Amino acid sequence: MPDRRKRVRRCLLCGLRRTNGRRKPPFRSNSRIAFIAGVPYNTTPRGGAWDSCGDSAIQIAEKIIRRRFVTNKPFTVHTSKHPTLDLADLLDRWNALKFEVDSKLDDCLQRRTADCPDRLREAMRYSLLAPGKRLRPILCLLGAEALECSPSMAINNAAALEMVHCYSLIHDDLPAMDDDDLRRGRPTCHIQFDEATAILAGDALQALAFEIILADAINPTTAAMSCLVLAKAVGAEGMVGGQMDDLQAEKKGGDATFLHAIHARKTGALIRASVVLGGIAANASSEQLEKLANYGDCVGIAFQIVDDLLDVEGSSENTGKRTGKDHERGKLTFPGIYGVQASRERAEQFVEQAISNVDAFGPAARPLKQLAHYITARSH
């Protein structure tokens, strides 16, 4: 495996693919390969997060290098209203922002866990710096950009969002909850360490999220507002409440209305908060925050629909987590209620609604629109 890691990493960094021993032209973008593979992409030759990348992620990267970009064509998405939308510039921008987010997360862990027990720090790093899309912090930074604000003004909020999201994944994967053993192509935190350590790592990340917003605040007013929005999004009326309903639905079922209510809170609340926190950092007006919130609501539901579809149609190799588990556990899902094709159509409808909500922001909102389309095109 070490030799394979070096070979795949070299391909990602150099942008070269080999077929029958012949050197081929460079890929249009190295970071696009890493992005869709879900593996870390660094601009320096250091190993770092790459060396801790799970074996399945390495296999995905190899598969993509061999097959997905064989034609060297741009990555495109086909939708009803946008026949061909080239997402190459979004993916390049995404990876640039992702690098900033990962650097901030690493810096926060180094500065804020110096007096932390070694095992707890190791578990926090293992989960927080694992390869992933960083969707929520990216939404936050693009939300700020849509209002022509520098992403650096929202980086603390972005890092906090990823910490809270990571805490939720750690706790979600526990045997008492969703009982998963694979996350982001690697063993889940409680499998890699133990259940008690995983619980404490999640607790510590949740607390650290609010610490980062407040301790590194540039504007105390926006920091306080950011904490309030984030707390409501992940609390009893938000993400945690949605998780409770999701567990209850496994036992007693539910209808379409209950399904939407679950995911508006379990998944949608934090995604909505992500883009709103970007707006808060940019000193958005109430009207602008409302538009960003509506965009986040639509993207959140579309994201969950696609997640449900990937559990039905995807593979563990591509998603980095075990598939087919929703059906095994009797979970309430969009394909289960509406069917596969109707669910896909609903996701596209929510994407179009999301886009219409940020039309007023003009060209600066183009990345947000592209991201909404990526939601329905993603394979992991």
Q: What is the CATH number of the domain that holds 289?
A: 1.10.600.10
C-alpha dihedral, 232 to 236 to 239 to 242, nearest 10°: -140
pLDDT of residue 86: 54
**CA 279 – CA 7 distance, rounded (Å):** 41
Q: Are residues 225 and 140 in the same domain?
A: yes
Q: Are residues 109 and 13 in the same domain?
A: no
Last residue of one domain, picked from the residues 73, 91, 119:
73
pLDDT of residue 355: 95
Q: Are residues 358 and 311 in the same domain?
A: yes
- Domains contained in the chain, number: 2
pLDDT of residue 231: 97
Q: Are residues 64 and 85 in the same domain?
A: no
- Sign of the C-alpha dihedral, residues 353, 164, 49, 144? positive
DSSP state of 359: G
Residue 167's domain comprises: 76-377
From the list 77, 8, 1, 17, the residue with the least C-alpha distance to 38 is 8
Q: Are residues 180 and 58 in the same domain?
A: no
**8 Å CB contact between 239 and 264:** no
**CA 361 – CA 50 distance, rounded (Å):** 37
- pTM value is 0.76
- pLDDT < 50: residue spans in the chain: 1-2, 4-6, 9-85, 318-320
Last residue of one domain, picked from the residues 73, 108, 131:
73
pLDDT in tens, 95-120: 999 999 999 999 999 999 999 999 99
Q: Are residues 110 and 5 in the same domain?
A: no
Q: Are residues 59 and 80 in the same domain?
A: no
Q: Are residues 298 and 154 in the same domain?
A: yes
Q: Are residues 318 and 342 in the same domain?
A: yes
Q: Are residues 35 and 176 in the same domain?
A: no
pLDDT in tens, 21-50: 333 333 334 444 444 344 443 333 333 343
pLDDT in tens, 322-358: 565 665 666 788 888 899 899 999 999 999 999 999 9
Q: Are residues 216 and 351 in the same domain?
A: yes
**CA 301 – CA 272 distance, rounded (Å):** 10
Q: Cα–Cα distances in Å, from 69 out to 26, 65, 94?
A: 11, 6, 19
Last residue of one domain, picked from the residues 73, 96, 124:
73
Q: Are residues 224 and 357 in the same domain?
A: yes
